[in-house]
């Protein structure tokens, strides 16, 4: 089928028109492009009719769409939107819209989130259609309510598993899909084979003794999950049959219980690598539900395999990044330091954020924080070289301004196309001040002994790398006894959902009322200010407190 034609007469810009041109044209299906950063909603004529919006509302008042969603559907719509915006993914959801005629119409929307190479949200591209025929078809299944319920289960679980990225999210997908409802499955255990052992990845609802035994089991043991991994065969049992077939479980489970058990092998690419165990209320699984679960086991296996790869890749990326940061920070009787690092939410990304602290002569301490452009192994490698070079220049006795200038020339001579931002603060307790030099980076935030907090307007130079001949100016700011200095990368205060100035203001207000112990303060700032839904960057945070 041909692409949907969009012309200037439909009120769509060139960028939106290009995006909408990629949306397939079907009768009754409208194309939608949402650009959150610009606050623009582009809809073709069919989409406007489905959504009940005028062209002016789409172009000038896109918030009118949210106002039309029925209040009881808003929590589900909001939760789905947050999950979709957290990472590049597809989405599909049903909701009801209040139209001008006063009736509430079922609407179906599906699409994908588009990001740039850095992981920043660009737009959401999708289609919408009138879903009233879907609802009428579902209502026609009232003669077979069990079949309709199982069809809903397949649809809900498949959608949830498509969006699950981590092992925990796979387990939560089973919960969200209703498998743990009062008349369905009450417990879930997900495991995989690991060098002859059964590795429990996640569990919900099973008794603690059973969970502990599972954690210690091997693939060769005569246990349901072990046998499913070993043989690749599913097992469906009621409670009495389970205890008869596996007497070692009698000391782990109650002797009498109206529970049914399903153990499904997880197979992908012809290899059984794990198993999922389900326990249901009300006795054994009925034959029709067994068929549904067997059909879903392949989808669960694919989702879990993808989640395992995601978790392992993320763990490797975070480990590589952490290994390049200082193992410990220098502490003195006059100065206490604390630092935090949180990787970006995308599994494959290794960030270029770093921090460091160096003891200098005459009781001074240099604090360094920076960010190398990009999110890949190359950025991490450049970060490691730059951190080492800057530490060496400081140890040689160069001033803060000279050390940062030399680091800029060093980066330019590396032959890389990456640039870096950096802030360097030399704390001098004897002089009650700090010398600050910054190259394209955020300046320091200071909380003084009297509780007053301020972002100091320290003049800054260009980022390191592109302009090695330019030096950054040096500025001295007060840092008296009892003061606390905060240095951070922009990932803490900037996100795709808020301007950096909003984040800076939030960090300042949080610091004003935050707890005093430095380690507690570091955790508080990281969790209270950073937006997990809007953050797409890694975060480095470095704090220094001068004793009173």
pLDDT of amino acid 467: 76
Q: Where are the domains of the chain?
A: 8-140, 144-317, 326-546
200: three-class secondary structure by DSSP: strand
| Backbone dihedral region for residue 465 (phi beyond 0: left; psi -120 to 50: alpha; all else: beta) | left
More confident residue, 44 or 93: 44
Q: How much is the average pLDDT of 293-311?
A: 77
- Closest C-alpha to 367, from 443, 465, 471: 443
- How many Cβ atoms from other residues are within 10 Å of residue 548's Cβ? 8
More confident residue, 341 or 138: 341
Q: What is the DSSP string of 128-172?
A: EEE-HHHHHHHHGGGGSHHHHHHHHHHHHHHHHHHH--SHHHHHH
Q: Which fold has domain 8-140?
A: Beta-Lactamase (3.30.450)
pLDDT of amino acid 40: 80
What is the architecture, at CATH level 2, of domain 144-317?
2-Layer Sandwich (3.30)
Strand partners, 447: 453, 484
Q: Do domains 8-140 and 144-317 have the same CATH topology?
A: yes
**Tokens 């896109």 identify what position?**
62
pLDDT of amino acid 318: 63
More confident residue, 144 or 311: 311
Highest mean pLDDT among 80-94, 273-287, 508-522: 508-522
More confident residue, 158 or 470: 470
Q: How much is the average pLDDT of 125-149?
A: 63
Q: How far is the CA of 43 from the CAs of 16, 52, 74, 485, in angstroms?
A: 9, 11, 21, 48
Q: How much is the average pLDDT of 527-539?
A: 68
Beta strands in 322-480, from DSSP E residues, in sequence order: 335-342, 353-359, 365-372, 420-428, 433-439, 445-447, 453-455, 474-478
Q: What sign does the dihedral 398-423-348-23 (CA atoms) show?
A: negative
* Residue 483 pLDDT exceeds 70: yes
pTM of whole model > 0.75? no
User: For the structural domain made of 326-546, what CATH number should be given?
Assistant: 3.60.40.10
The counts of H helices and E strands in the chain are 16, 20
More confident residue, 156 or 270: 270
pLDDT of amino acid 21: 45
Q: How much is the average pLDDT of 33-38?
A: 81
Q: How much is the average pLDDT of 263-290?
A: 83
Q: How much is the average pLDDT of 103-125?
A: 80
pLDDT of amino acid 141: 44
């Amino acid at each position: 089928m041909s692409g949907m034609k969009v012309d200037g007469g439909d009120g769509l810009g060139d960028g939106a028109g290009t995006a909408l041109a990629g949306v397939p044209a079907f009768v009754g299906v409208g194309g939608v492009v949402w650009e959150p950063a610009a606050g623009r909603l582009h809809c073709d004529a069919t989409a406007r009719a489905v959504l009940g919006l005028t062209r002016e509302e789409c172009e000038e008042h896109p918030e009118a769409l949210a106002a039309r969603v029925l209040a009881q559907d808003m929590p589900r719509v909001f939760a789905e939107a947050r999950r979709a915006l957290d990472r590049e993914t597809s989405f599909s959801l049903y909701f009801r819209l209040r139209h001008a005629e006063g009736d509430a119409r079922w609407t179906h929307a599906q699409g994908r989130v588009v990001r740039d190479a850095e992981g920043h949200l660009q737009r959401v591209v999708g289609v919408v259609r009138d879903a009233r025929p879907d609802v009428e078809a579902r209502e026609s299944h009232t003669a077979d309510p069990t079949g309709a319920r199982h069809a809903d289960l397949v649809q809900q679980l498949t959608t949830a598993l498509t969006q699950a990225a981590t092992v925990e999210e796979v387990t939560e997908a089973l919960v969200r899909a209703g498998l743990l409802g009062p008349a369905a499955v009450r417990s879930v255990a997900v495991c995989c084979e690991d060098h002859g052992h059964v590795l429990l990845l996640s569990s919900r609802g099973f008794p603690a003794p059973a969970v502990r035994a599972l954690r210690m089991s091997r693939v060769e043991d005569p246990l349901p999950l072990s046998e499913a991994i070993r043989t690749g065969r599913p097992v469906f049992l009621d409670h009495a049959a389970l205890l008869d077939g596996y007497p070692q479980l009698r000391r782990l489970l109650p002797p009498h219980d109206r529970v049914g058990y399903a153990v499904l092998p997880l197979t992908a690419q012809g290899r059984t690598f794990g198993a999922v165990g389900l326990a249901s209320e009300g006795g054994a699984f009925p034959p029709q539900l067994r068929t549904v679960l067997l059909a879903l086991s392949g989808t669960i296996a694919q989702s879990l395999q993808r989640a395992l790869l995601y978790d392992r890749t993320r763990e490797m990326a975070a480990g590589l990044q952490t290994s390049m940061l200082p193992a410990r920070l220098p502490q003195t009787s006059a100065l206490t330091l604390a630092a935090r690092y949180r990787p970006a939410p995308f599994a494959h990304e290794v960030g270029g954020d770093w921090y460091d602290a160096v003891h200098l002569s005459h009781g001074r301490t240099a604090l360094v924080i920076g960010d190398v452009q990009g999110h890949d192994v190359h950025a991490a490698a450049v970060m490691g070289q730059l951190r080492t070079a800057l530490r060496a220049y400081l140890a040689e006795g160069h001033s803060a301004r000279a050390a940062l200038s030399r680091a800029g020339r060093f980066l330019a001579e590396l032959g890389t196309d990456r640039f870096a931002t950096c802030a360097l603060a030399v704390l001098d307790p004897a002089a009650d001040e700090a010398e600050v030099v910054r190259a394209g980076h955020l300046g320091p935030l200071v909380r003084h002994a009297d509780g007053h907090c301020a972002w100091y307007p320290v003049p800054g130079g260009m980022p390191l790398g592109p302009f090695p001949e330019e030096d950054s100016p040096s500025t001295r700011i007060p840092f008296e006894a009892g003061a606390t200095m905060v240095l951070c990368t922009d990932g803490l205060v900037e996100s795709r959902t808020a301007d950096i100035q909003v984040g800076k203001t939030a960090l300042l207000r949080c610091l004003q009322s935050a707890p005093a112990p430095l380690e507690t303060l570091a955790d508080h700032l990281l969790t209270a200010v950073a937006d997990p839904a809007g953050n797409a960057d890694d975060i480095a945070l470095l704090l220094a407190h001068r004793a009173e």
